[in-house]
């Protein structure tokens, strides 16, 4: 109780002092201002850690290199067709068993292919000089061998031609001096081809009956009297070979049906009196325009020609 009264007296005294001060005009002592607070730190922009990369460099397009200019030289290819006559022909006769007489027919008017009545073979040999009218740079397009059948003792038979592999001769034998039909030939003369000889009487065949390619160059069914033609890619290739390499040109051997008797066919030879019936070789070939057209000329550059072989 006592403490409370004292407190009240203190408060009343303080109030009196304040009233007196106000009456005298004194300013009250201002309360001290709070200490200024430092401003918050300004946020500094943090640079991005990623450094911008320069754009990817695209390599410049390659500089176009000019292609060399190729000037095509037009070469006109000219096709020609020539007809050659045989330069030699002959017939060789298979000798009778036990008989060593060798017959031939180098100068006769006919050549034979096939078996006679007794089953003994006759084979014709024939050759053409392809260098005569065909230039060395020729491309052979087609070749056709033509023979004229003037007599037959058989029905239709297949007659084949095979490329000969060795040279042979045509002598002076003439079957017409023995028999007008010439079916037996005549005694062999010097230089003739026989069943055993390439050239009588010094050079022999390696195989009796002739050395020739096993593969037929062409075959033709031959019946009655008339004209016949042998034509094939292989026969054409034979002629191309001879143009490219004249030393390989030994011509063809003509072989008939030798499996049975009585199949022989008689054709006309180069000595026949009727020129139209003589053996011929029709050749179509291509050469660059302006090239020499005669045989033996220096070859000119030959353009590629697709023959579809």
SS3 assignment for 24-37? HCCCCCCCCCCCCC
CA distance 138 to 205: 32
Q: Helix and strand tally (H, E) in the chain? A: 2, 14
C-alpha–C-alpha distance, residues 267 and 159, integer Å: 11
Q: What pLDDT sits at residue 96?
A: 85
Which residue, among 158, 170, 160, has the nearest Cα to 213 in the 3D structure? 160
Task: Report helix, strand or coil for 160.
Answer: strand
Q: Give the DSSP per-residue string, 68-111.
A: PP-------EEEEEEEEEEEEEEEEEPPPTT----EE-TTSSEE
- Which residues, 6+ apart, have CB-to-CB distance to 145 below 8 Å? 161, 218, 229, 230, 231, 235, 252, 279, 280, 281
Contact between 264 and 183 under an 8 Å Cβ cutoff? The reply is yes
Tens digit of pLDDT at every position of the chain (309 positions): 444 434 443 444 444 334 333 433 444 444 444 455 555 544 444 444 444 444 444 455 555 555 545 454 556 789 999 999 999 999 999 998 766 679 999 999 999 999 999 999 999 999 999 999 999 999 999 999 999 999 998 999 999 999 999 999 999 999 999 999 999 999 999 999 999 999 999 999 999 999 999 999 999 999 999 999 999 999 999 999 999 999 999 999 999 999 999 999 999 999 999 999 999 999 999 998 766 555 544 443 333 333 333
């Amino acid at each position: 109780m006592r403490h409370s009264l004292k407190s009240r007296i203190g408060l009343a005294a303080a109030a009196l002092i304040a009233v007196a001060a106000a009456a005298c005009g004194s300013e009250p002592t201002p309360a001290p201002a709070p200490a200024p607070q430092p401003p918050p730190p300004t946020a500094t922009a943090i640079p991005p850690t990623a450094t911008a990369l320069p754009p990817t460099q695209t390599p410049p397009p390659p500089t176009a290199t000019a292609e060399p200019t190729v000037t095509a030289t037009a070469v006109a290819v000219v096709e020609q067709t020539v007809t050659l006559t045989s330069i030699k022909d002959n017939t060789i006769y298979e000798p009778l068993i036990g008989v060593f007489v060798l017959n031939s027919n180098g100068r006769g008017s006919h050549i034979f292919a096939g078996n006679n009545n007794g089953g003994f073979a006759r084979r014709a040999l024939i050759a053409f000089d392809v260098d005569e009218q065909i230039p060395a740079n020729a491309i052979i397009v087609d070749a056709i061998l033509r023979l004229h059948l003037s007599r037959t003792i058989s029905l239709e038979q297949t007659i084949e031609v095979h490329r000969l592999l060795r040279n042979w001769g045509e002598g002076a034998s003439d079957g017409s001096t023995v028999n007008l039909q010439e079916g037996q030939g005549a005694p062999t003369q010097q230089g003739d081809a026989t069943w055993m000889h390439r050239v009588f009487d010094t050079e022999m065949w390696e195989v009796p009956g002739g050395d020739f390619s096993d593969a037929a160059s062409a075959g033709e069914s031959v019946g009655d009297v008339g004209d016949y033609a042998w034509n094939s890619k292989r026969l054409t290739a034979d002629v191309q070979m001879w143009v490219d390499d004249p030393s390989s040109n030994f011509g063809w051997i003509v072989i008939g049906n030798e499996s049975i008797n009585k199949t022989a066919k008689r054709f006309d030879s180069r000595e026949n009196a009727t020129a139209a019936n003589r053996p011929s070789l029709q050749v179509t070939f291509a050469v660059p325009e302006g090239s020499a057209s005669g045989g033996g000329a220096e070859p000119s550059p030959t353009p590629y020609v697709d023959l579809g072989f």
